[in-house]
Structure 1
Amino acid sequence: MLWPVTVMGALVGGLGGALPGALLGAVVGHALDRYWQLRRWRDLPIRLAELRTGPADFERVLFLCLGRLAKASGRVSQVHLQLARDLMQLYRLDEAACLRAMHDFNQGKTAADLRPLVRALRKREPARAAELLDSCWRMAVVPGQLSDEVRTLLADWAAEAGLAQSEQQRMHQRHQRTQAPPRSRSAVPRQDALRRAASLLKVDLADSPEVIKRAYRRQLSLHHPDKLAARGAGNVEQGNAGERIRQIQEAYELLRRHKGFR
């Protein structure tokens, strides 16, 4: 383990006061390392970014970005607000966390540049960067058309999150299909999709909305990156967590619309 600020403090202190200065600098630096929870050099840029912009935890960055997208669409509508509330339920935020999320959503409307926070989130929780952008695309397609400002924001954040253009296109197309009104088509493919969605959530198509909601939350919890890490999952499984969560979300949306509940 290499404490970065400890090393820097020792070097700076040594330049100014030889051995006593180096010792004093190391002590002060070590205290800062412990306070900021810095254990590797790569942790330092993340902490510096957070000092400039605030903490880069997932929920904070998510709702800041959602608020920015809603405002960039031209007008924050009830549909935007409902989606934000749906995501609060999705992540099972308690009352205090919901209040923070609402504050972040409103603060995000006037946020100047959220790229440093997205970058810091990717470094802190790389498996959740794609999950962030997927929720952003859900918010972006709500008005039906993407403004130039919305497209620019999504492109900038995707670059910071390390998402390829092809992955962005898949997100766009998936959420456009979810928002689009139903079209006349054969019932067989739709039934197949419903059965696949039910299988993914481990429910039956005849189950009640309450059962489906509980199963949905259970599957999200099982595949949450933090839970996977706690269970000792490998890097590959943790890296696939974002894609699995998107599949679970898409399955739930399909069943929710089919059953007609919120």
Structure 2
Amino acid sequence: MYYGKIIGGVLGLLVLGPIGLILGLIVGHLFDNGLMQTLKFASPQNIARIKQSFFETTFLLSGYLAKADGHISRQEVDHTEAVIAQMGLNAEQRKRAIELFKRGSAADFQPEPAISAFMEICRGQRQLCQTLLFFLISLALADHKIEAAERQALQRLATGLGFNAAQLEQMLRMAQAQGHFHGSSGFEAQPGTRLEDAYTALGVDPDVDDKTLKRAYRKLMSENHPDKLIARGVPEDMIKLATERSQEIQAAYEMIKKSRE
């Protein structure tokens, strides 16, 4: 690909003469290389690799997290089973997911190699790492509480994925608050939900102005948009989980809007 070199060289020559030609060729070369890398990363083959890595890493780390406090609770098993059922996996995929979960829950499992492999394949895409971490947080919250060992394990995973302690705490608060807008009857504020929970679900303060509120809401909805997640490499089978989060966010936003009318 030579478009960058050609354009850069011509513009450089017209503006600065021979020296500009050289500088333009250098800049154009860098542009061409960056464009090639972007196209290669977004290729169907590479996206397929990311999807496979996302799937495998999710269940490996889910097993590790579930066993972090020394035992796997009934709620954690049920949550994992619900995730597998919701994903609509076939028999082979289900077997693979359970194998990965068991491997991650083994006493000698170390999560860092799995995280490093995932980060290398996805090139540390921030949004992809955040989506994975939110999936893991939902598992940790399956029994509606987080033990000290679970929190420590979550921080270990978050650090590997590029998130510090403060960022993890913010995500935990948001995930817990979003859970107030998901019940057996659908996605709406559950009994006992406070307006403060709605603001926390969106990651904003109660005194935020309308413009900032809408911007935060739109950002969260964009981050969980199915088409964007699929394009980044989240497996289609796991999109349903992100869609649920979008509906929780929507319900929280509606509660705030009504309070401001």
Q: TM-score, normalised by structure 1?
A: 0.50
Indicate the residue corresponding to 2:101 in structure 1.
105
Decide whether the 8 Å contact of 2:86 with 2:240 is kept in 1: no
2:152 corresponds to which residue? 152
Match of 1:224 among 229, 247, 259: 229
CA distance 1:129–1:185, change in 2 (3 Å): closer
Q: Does 1:252 align with 2:252?
A: no
> Is residue 2:177 matched to residue 1:177?
yes
Q: Aligned-pair RMSD on alpha carbons? A: 3.9
SS in 1 for 2:67: helix
Pair 1:249–1:169, CA change in 2 (3 A):
farther
Structure 2 CA distance for aligned equivalents of residues 63 and 142 of structure 1: 15
Equivalent position amino acid for 1:161 in 2: L
Change (3 A) 1:184 1:252: closer
Residue 74 (structure 1) shift: 4.2
Alpha-carbon distance between aligned partners in 1 of 2:232 and 2:176, rounded to the nearest angstrom:
30
CA contact (8 A) 2:67 2:105 kept: yes
Which residue number in structure 2 is paired with residue 168 of structure 1? 168
Deviations 1:33-57 (A, max 9, x none): xxxxxx9xxxxxxxxxxxxxxxx81
* 2:114 is aligned with 1:117: yes
**CA–CA distance in structure 2, aligned partners of residues 183 and 129 of structure 1:** 32
State the distance in 1 between where 2:194 and 2:150 align: 32
Matched-pair contact (CA < 8 Å) for 1:64–1:108: yes
Alignment partners' CA distance in 1, 2:250 and 2:77? 22
- Look up the equivalent residue of 1:80 and give its one-letter code: E
Distance 1:60 1:69 in 2: 14
Secondary structure of the corresponding residue to residue 224 of structure 1? helix
- How far apart, in 1, do the equivalents of 2:194 and 2:168 lie? 27
For 2:99 and 2:133, the matched residues in 1 are separated by: 20
Give the TM-score, by structure 2 length: 0.51
> Are the counterparts in 2 of residues 141 and 179 from structure 1 also a CA contact under 8 Å?
no
2:192 maps to a residue whose letter is: R
1:58 and 1:228, CA in 2 relative to 1: closer, same or farther beyond 3 A?
Answer: closer
Asked if the contact 1:68–1:109 (Cα under 8 Å) also holds between the matched residues in 2, the reply is yes
Question: What letter matches 2:79 in structure 1?
Answer: L
Q: Do 1:70 and 1:140's aligned partners in 2 also have CA atoms closer than 8 Å?
A: yes
Structure 2 CA distance for aligned equivalents of residues 137 and 177 of structure 1: 12
* 5+ long unaligned stretches in structure 2: 1-36, 38-51, 181-189, 203-216, 252-261
Structure 1 partner of 2:76: 80
2 CA distance for matches of 1:135 and 1:164? Answer: 17
Map of 1:49 onto structure 2: none
CA contact (8 A) 1:73 1:147 kept: yes
Q: In structure 2, how many angstroms separate the alpha carbons of the residues matched to 1:137 and 1:176?
A: 9
Please tell me the residue identity of whatever aligns with 1:252: Q
Question: Which runs of 5 or more structure 1 residues have no equivalent in the other structure?
Answer: 1-38, 40-55, 202-215, 230-237, 239-243, 257-262
Cα distance in 1 for partners of 2:142, 2:232 equals 31
Aligned residue identity for 2:111: L
Give 1:133's aligned residue. 133
Contact 1:142–1:179 under 8 Å retained in 2: no
Higher relative contact order, structure no. (Cα contacts within 8 Å, ≥ 6 residues apart)? 2
